[in-house]
Structures are given as C-alpha cells and as structure tokens.
A and B are shown apart, each in its own frame.
Chain A
Amino acid sequence: MRQKKIHNGGFVLVEFAIALPLLVLVLYALGLVSVNIYKLGKDQLADYVLESEARYAMERITQAARVAKEIELEGSEEHGSGKIKIVYHAVEDSSDYYTMKDKSPKYYLYSDRDVLETRIFVSYKKKDRKYVNLYTERKNNIYTNPITGENFFGDTTLNHLDFDLNKTKKILHINLEMESVVTEHKIKIATAVFMPGYKSE
C-alpha cells in the first residue's frame, strides 16, 4: 500500500513540474496584457482630457467673439498670436425691449443701455509651470484663471493660438493647436466667427 503511494507521488511531481511552467507562462501573458491595458487606459484618458480642453478653450473664445464689439490683437491689427482682448455686449441690445419699456418697468434697466464686458484670452508659460497654457481674465495684466492644463489625468500644452481679423467681413478666424504631454498627440482646431455687433472703429 505504502509502495503504491510513493509511486503515485512521483507522478504528482512530474505533473507539477509540467504544470508549474505552464502556470508561470499563463500568468506572464496575463501580466503583459494587464500592463498594456493600463497604458492604453492612461493614454485614452489623457487624449480625452486633450480633446475636452481644446473644445472648452475654443468654445470660450468663440462665445465671447460672437457678441464682440471690439477686438484687440497682440501683433498687428488684423493678425495676432497668443493673446486677444474682446470687448463684448454682455446684454443683448434688442429693440424688442424698448417696446416693452412702458408696459413692464423691470425691463427698463436692460433695455436702455449697452452693457459691455472685457475678456482677455492669453497663452503663456507661468513661472512654476513647464508648459504653455491658456488663461483668461477680465482685467489686463492679471492672468490668474487657467482654462487649460494642470489636469490630474493628463497635462496639456498650447502649441499655438492664432487670430485673423477681417474688419470688412466682421469675421474672426481662430486657429488653435494643443498637445497632450502624456501621449504627445496633437489636436488642431480652426474656425471662424461672424461678429454681427462688431464696430471697426
């Protein structure tokens, strides 16, 4: 009886000697797949951040430009890079409100004047930052509100931000390129905004 069990023990040893390397191989393969999945997930998250930040930055600029009254570019009058100052109509100056003035006095404040706001978009490298980001501020010389960059899931940098202003057509052409620091993927967005309320003088 004992002799038989010792024989079986040898079989178990051989079985174990075959199974163990197989097990190691399988675990190694699974480990490799896991690492790749992790990298892919990290890259995709960084790309997502890049796309959403580019979209947000562009949307902010186009929204302000659409209602612009005055545009000031860094550079020449018609071509600028990196910085734009937009003076825009904060309240719609619609003639419909005037007709309502007598009927409902609460509209009076909003109908009788043209409320203007100033918004500056500027790209630069902050002292403690390695990359160029887009910032916005309502007053000149204090750039404290970041629009892009410093996202925990993937940092981004602004490669270039160009503006072309056509005063006759009342068209502002915006060209934006951003890059993900994590994946080094680039996204280029270009568009034009028609500014019905723009005054060339």
Chain B
Amino acid sequence: MPKIFLVITFTGALVNFKNCDIFFAMRKILNQRGFMMLNVVFLTLIASLAAMILMNAATRVRNPQSTLRLTALYVANEQLAQMESLAARSIEPTEEILVKDADLKTTNFTGEPIEFTVDTEIVGSKCTVTVSWAVKGQEDSVTVERTIWIAPKEDS
C-alpha cells in the first residue's frame, strides 16, 4: 500500500510542477480525488473479499444427516439378509423386524441418539424394506428392494 501512496504522491508532484513542495502535493491529492479513488479501491477489495468468503461458507453448511444414510442402508440389508436366510430354509418370511436391537440405535456426529424404524413390505417375491429415522424433526428414509424366492421344501 505505501507504494501506491508514493506513486500518487510523485504523480501529483509532477502534475503540480509549479509548486515543487512534495508534501503540499500529497496533501492536495489526499484532499481531493486521490483519496476518493483510494476509498473506492479499498471498498471494492473488501466487498469482493467478503463476497468470496461468504460464498465459500454457503457451500459448507454442516449436514446433520451425515453418515446416517449409510448406516440405515446396512440396517436394511441386514433385514433382507435375515429374510433370505428364512426363505432358503423354506420358511416364509413375515414383515416382522429381524434386525438386532443394538443395530437399530446409533448416534450422529453431534452425539445425538438416533433410532431407526424398519418397515417391511412383501408383495409376492418382491421384498421392500424401508428404514426411517429423524434428526431434530427432520425425517429421512432409505428404501431397498430385493427379490427373494422361497426354497421348496426338501421332502415335497
């Protein structure tokens, strides 16, 4: 910044060659358009800096749902795996929850306890498992589908 001052000062001194007093020339420029120009430069710089920083911040808003979706996906797969196991043993799967109780509870990154709800729907051989949860009143869910054939009984 001092370099800018120097440039302005010497330019001013050259322009005001009749008054060779450098300090007087500097004062004159600061009084008038030079200072105004400097103000404009400063304000522009600050405004662009602020805009850049705030625009950067806007994309970095913390997501409270982070990683819960992944956990829910694996809970849904656990339910389907248990249903597949039943079907392979020629037992018709029902819509009851087969997931371990401990797997239905977790915490998010801020330490808030989360509880998953598992809903199963069986239409023919198409099994649909929906795992839902809520964080601070914000609900979310994951749905996974799988075709499961019930194995014929060996004695039949």
Residues of A whose CB lies within 8 Å of any CB of B are: 5-6, 8-9, 12, 19, 23, 26-27, 30, 33-34, 36-37, 40-41, 44, 47, 50-51, 54-55, 58, 62, 169-171, 173, 175, 183, 185-194, 196
Contact = CB atoms under 8 A, between A and B. Distances in A.
B27 interface: yes
Contacts of A44: 60, 62
Interface stretch (B3-11, B67-75, B118-126): B67-75
Interface residues of B, number: 37
Contacts of A175: 103
Contact of A5 (B27, B67, B70, B88): B27
Contacts of A193: 77, 81
Interface in B71-110: 71, 74-75, 77-78, 81-82, 84-85, 88-89, 99-100, 102-103, 106-107, 109
Given A51-B70, A190-B100, 18 more contacts: A9-B31, A34-B53, A40-B57, A41-B60, A44-B60, A47-B109, A51-B67, A54-B70, A58-B74, A171-B82, A175-B103, A183-B109, A190-B103, A191-B77, A191-B103, A193-B81, A194-B84, A196-B88
Nearest to B39: A19
Nearest to A29: B50
A171 B82 CA distance: 7
B49 interface: yes
Given A5-B28, A169-B85, A37 B53 contact: yes
A30 B50 contact: yes
A34 B53 CA distance: 6
A192 B77 contact: yes
Nearest to A166: B85
B56 A194 contact: no
B57 A37 contact: yes
Nearest to B69: A51
B71 A8 contact: no
B142 interface: no
Given A12-B31, A169-B85, A187 B77 contact: no
